[in-house]
Amino acid sequence: MNRILFLLVVFFLNCYSITEAKCQNQSIVDSLLGKLPYAKTEKAKATIYSKVAEQFYINVPDSALKYCYKGMSCSERINDISDMAYFHTFIGVLFKNITLYDSAIYHFNKSIELNKKDDFEKGVAGSLNNLGQVYRLKGEYDKALNSYYSSLEIFEKFKDTLNIGELHSNIGALLVKIQEYDAAEEHFKISRKQYKLAGVKLQEAWILYDLGNLKMKTGKMDSAEVYILESSKVWKKFNNVRGYNNCMLRLGEIKMDKKQYDKAAEIFNKAIREFEEVNNLQGVSEGLMLLGRVQFLQKKYVSAIENLKKSLDISDFVQSNQLQMDVYLDLSKCYKELNQFDLAFGYMEKFLLLKDSVFSQNKSKLIAEYQTKLNLLNKEVEIQQLEDSTQRQALKNDFILKENSQKQKSIYLLIVSILFVLIMLFLLFKRNKTNIKLNKELNVALKEREVLIREVHHRVKNNLQIISSLLNLQSEHVETANPVDMLKVSQSRIEAMSMIHENLYKSSQLSEINFREYVENLCRYIDTSFSLSEKGIHLEHEIDPVHVDLDKMVPCGLIINELITNSVKHAFHDQPDKVIQIKCTALKGNVRIEISDNGSGLPSGFDIKQSKSLGLRLANGLVKQLNSKLLLENDKGMRAVFEFKTIENDSGNR
């Protein structure tokens, strides 16, 4: 695969990212796959897999991913850096299109790394451009701009007119997002000029769309409508669903601005359906948000909230900060109209956490508005309490006057009454002070609970991402590995992480885990799962009483799991006594982990960086998260040692 072909594929994959055109042809796919048995080299096989993936790219991304990974495996076997970079870019674009942004970022970074190694600057620039688009979709605008400008600098060096035009278009669209309209317009003008020089039509549709969007932001709706309609005609001609329906969303906003609410709602509903058909979650989320917004203007607050919450769920899944921020603000407005001020204020707080300093005036105004309402409610309560107190005091005074007129002893009664009132006031004051203290403690507890819940969600998200990455790495070995063994290994990795959370919710300490109990449970699981007793393998462990904090427990548990399962799979042959030992020693501020077996040991000249064992390479990568190094040596079998800082052992002061 030559480099010119590489650049062309990257560019057109980016331009036609989601479309309803039926580009794949089954007869072509069958013809290509029929050539595989006659392909004599890994290079030839990789080329066939790439062409098959291109047939599935538009409408069946899962199949495209499958053949990309097959092609990647062929390229890796012959260490073809150029083809490996190509497949990483292709896979990154596929993940971007199905809104799996973190996976897309990983593959684009790998492509950049490989292209730099291959001294292919244009390949680096293309991946930087794609990386910038992912960051823009996630709402991480600083990272997006840095990626765009780095890419632009390289393409300008080569005077690549087509890609220079695309970069200026992307930068202009981002500047519109952050309300830098003058600068955005300059970039759009440059982009349109570059596209005309390159003689391309489809890319000019993007510029028409961006100019229309810019006119909308500056309140020039009639001019915006002209640009948007021109752009939509081009997208429709090329059967591009995403481009066409993005235009429809903007057209709906224009109708909404002109108070044509029913027409706007009709446009949004149609766009949502078409986005759903091609699995474009970003488009579905934005469409639901705009539908909720027009229902708010129609005073259909319940329906608006329902659609806005659907949009929020999707925007949270695709990690779009901009969409989340817009939905939070719209939900706050809806609940405000329903006089549900607590919910309104809650969503406003979430909105303000994402909003930058440009919108600080609106933030202050809304907070003041809600605070005024709360102050009024508190004032009404205080007035009522004052009236009740005044009435009680008047009754007491009448009683005292009547008693004074009858008996001299009423003076004593008055004194007693006053003392009683003072005591009651003192008790009430003391009780009120206690209540205030309790309320403060409750507020602190609630805030701690919210922080804890956010932390739990954050850790679950991180662990799910780790699981996804592990499965992704494992999938690269699907062709060579036994599926049952592969599933067992993947299951043991997931179980190693699951046990951490099991120990955590059983523990009184939420930030640390009893290491001995965790290792014992993990050993029992591995013994059962891999039928060690039947294989004559014995697990022995000697664990000092230490506690390990949760952030270090996940990589540590995975490392132990990988080293034990590696010994189970590779250490033993026909020897009678098969033993795997796990030893944990508490040092001053550190913990030392040693895993050894009495098997055949490591082969001569073993280098873990060149090892084909996914488990050992994974363990070597995870140990770096502990700021440590993994030592592997032969000592009557294989012996692995690593050491890291942790919480003091139980025998010390904790």
d(CA 234, CA 388): 74
| Sign of the dihedral defined by the CA atoms of residues 282, 288, 290, 292, in that order | negative
* Angle between helix 3-15 and 81-97 (nearest 10): 0
Residue 618: count of CB within 10 angstroms of its CB: 21
Backbone torsions φ then ψ of 338, nearest 5 degrees: -90, 5
Residue with tokens 């149609």: 270
For 539-591, the three-class secondary structure string (H helix, E strand, C coil) is: EEEEECCCEEEHHHHHHHHHHHHHHHHHHHHHCCCCCCCEEEEEEEEECCCEE
CB proximity list for 157: less than 8 A, separation 6 or greater: 121
d(CA 281, CA 275): 7
Helix (H) / strand (E) element for 338: namely none
The whole-number pLDDT of residue 20 equals 35
The architecture of the domain spanning 477-645 is 2-Layer Sandwich (3.30)
d(CA 184, CA 193): 15
CB 144 within 8 A of CB 174: yes
The whole-number pLDDT of residue 10 equals 44
The whole-number pLDDT of residue 507 equals 60
CB 488 within 8 A of CB 514: no
Joined tokens for residue 641: 């040692």
Residue with tokens 């009680």: 392
DSSP state of 602: P
Q: Which amino acid is at 355?
A: K
CB proximity list for 241: less than 8 A, separation 6 or greater: 18, 19, 20, 274, 275, 277, 278, 280
The 3-state DSSP class for residue 78 equals coil
CB proximity list for 397: less than 8 A, separation 6 or greater: none
Length of the chain: 654
The whole-number pLDDT of residue 236 equals 85
- CA torsion 460→466→467→470, rounded to 10°? 180
The whole-number pLDDT of residue 458 equals 59
The closest alpha carbon to 542, from 491, 580, 505, belongs to 580
Backbone torsions φ then ψ of 476, nearest 5 degrees: -70, -15
CB 623 within 8 A of CB 518: no
Rounded to whole angstroms, what are the CA distances from 101 to 12, 137, 324? Answer: 19, 8, 16
Listed as ranges, residues in the chain with pLDDT below 50 are: 2-24, 357-382, 384-385, 648-654
- CA torsion 300→303→309→311, rounded to 10°? -90
The closest alpha carbon to 244, from 287, 214, 215, 307, belongs to 287
Q: Which amino acid is at 560?
A: I
d(CA 105, CA 150): 16
| pLDDT per residue as tens digits for the range 329-340 | 999 999 999 999
Domain boundaries, the chain: 362-457, 477-645
| pLDDT per residue as tens digits for the range 358-409 | 344 333 443 343 334 334 433 443 454 455 556 556 655 665 666 666 767 7
The closest alpha carbon to 427, from 419, 415, 437, 416, belongs to 419
